[in-house]
Amino acid sequence: MKVLAGNSNRPLAEAISTCLGVPLTKASVRRFSDMEVFVEILENVRGEDVFVVQSTSFPANDNLMELLVTIDALRRGSARRITAVIPYYGYARQDRKTGPRTPISAKLVANLITQAGANRVLTMDLHAGQIQGFFDIPTDNLMGAPVFEKDIRQTFEGHMGEVTIVSPDVGGVVRARALAKRLDADLAIIDKRRERAGVSEVMNIIGDAEGRRCILVDDIVDSGGTLCNAAVALMEAGAKSVHAYCTHGVLSGGAVARVAVSPLEQLVTTDSIQATEAVRVSRNTRQLTIAPLIAEAIMRISEERSVSSLFS
């Protein structure tokens, strides 16, 4: 196999390469003076099984274009199979029509990746499971739950009986329930009403938070407003402490500062998106690596073994 890295998250690609014991394929991914993307593969890839590691995080359009151009270069270089490894799938929140004359951008991006020449996709914690069906090629959706489970057991060692997993909204109940089941922990749900885009208002807590060590679980943390409001509501309901575990730390705008002054003791994300300087210096934000998990999935795909059994 060959592993090729784009520019969106080079440290993660290097960590995956180290886990696999396979050096990154030499390639030049650069910009012309007018910022057009140019990709040149500097090794022979004819007949090879190639994995392209590229998150479509900020700047989403640039990173997506890099991925598409890289796939095209590999296809024209006669690679046998091209797998797009997308730890964070951008545009995933635009997965349905939210009103008249609005796009379903997640489906458009899936079409672009397929038409560019990808043979399969490997991604992680898609915002909505149905996005797998947007692709006409095999798509593996990894779960961050095993990574979170291990860290939670270490962090709350000796206090697991006090842990309650909390979904910050009704839409994330399935995700929170799955983690709660793995940990044999209680489950609570926060019912919130969103007055307008980007503003969330916590309304009610379904379940018991009093005297509990609450762990908020979500797939994406962007502005941080939902998590911070949820943390305030949980503390007002008598929670002993509030932590948050989110797979994708988008953390746009002043999100890190917002989290820093919130009741959250700690926000834990994965390195599916490369940490900004604000995240690296934050006192209550940290990242867990998903490199071993992705490396194992890549190895199983290359050897035609089951990926789903990773989570059984």
Is residue 192 annotated as part of the catalytic site, yes or no? yes
Sign of the dihedral defined by the CA atoms of residues 248, 254, 255, 260, in that order: positive
Q: How confident is the model at residue 200 (pLDDT cuts 50, 70, 90)?
A: low
217 burial type by CB count under 10 A (0-12 exposed, 13-18 middle, 19+ buried): buried
Annotated binding residues for D-ribose 5-phosphate: 194, 218, 222-226
Tokens linked to 219? 């797939």
Report whether pLDDT(155) > 90.
yes
Residue 311 pLDDT more than 90? no
User: From residue 137, how far is each of 82, 84, 122 by CA, in Å?
Assistant: 11, 11, 11
What's the whole-model pTM score? 0.92
- Catalogue all structural domains in the chain, each as residue range(s) with its CATH number: 2-142 (3.40.50.2020), 145-289 (3.40.50.2020)
Are 71 and 1 in contact by the 8 Å Cβ rule? The answer is: no
CA 120 to chain centre: 18
For the chain, percent helix, then strand, then coil, each to nearest 5? Answer: 35, 30, 35
Is pLDDT of 183 > 60? yes
Res 197: pLDDT: 64
Binding residues for Mg(2+): 127, 169
User: How many Å from the N-terminal Cα to the C-terminal Cα in the chain?
Assistant: 26
Among candidate residues 2, 181, 192, 240, the one labeled active-site is 192
Annotated binding site: 34-36, 93-94, 127, 169, 194, 218, 222-226
Strands 2-5 and 49-53: parallel
Provide the 3-class DSSP secondary structure of residue 287: strand
Are the CB atoms for 117 and 278 separated by under 8 Å?
no
Instruction: Please tell me the distance from the alpha carbon of residue 210 to that of residue 238, in angstroms, as a whole number.
Output: 4
Q: Report the pLDDT value the prediction gives residue 170, as an integer from 0 to 100.
A: 84
Binned at pLDDT 50, 70 and 90, residue 201 comes out as: low
**Mean pLDDT across 140-157:** 93
Asked if the model's pLDDT at residue 136 lies above 60, the reply is yes
| Mode of pairing for the β-strands spanning 49-53 and 37-41 | unpaired
194 has a pLDDT exceeding 80: no
Portion of the chain with pLDDT greater than 90, in percent: 84
85-89, 123-127, 143-147, 167-171: range with lowest mean pLDDT? 167-171
Grade residue 48 by pLDDT with cuts at 50, 70 and 90.
very high
What mean pLDDT is predicted for residues 107-118?
97
- Radius of gyration in angstroms for the set of CA atoms belonging to the chain, rounded to a whole number: 20
Identify the bridge partners of residue 291 per DSSP, sorted by sequence position: none
Tell me the pairing of strands 186-196 and 199-206: antiparallel
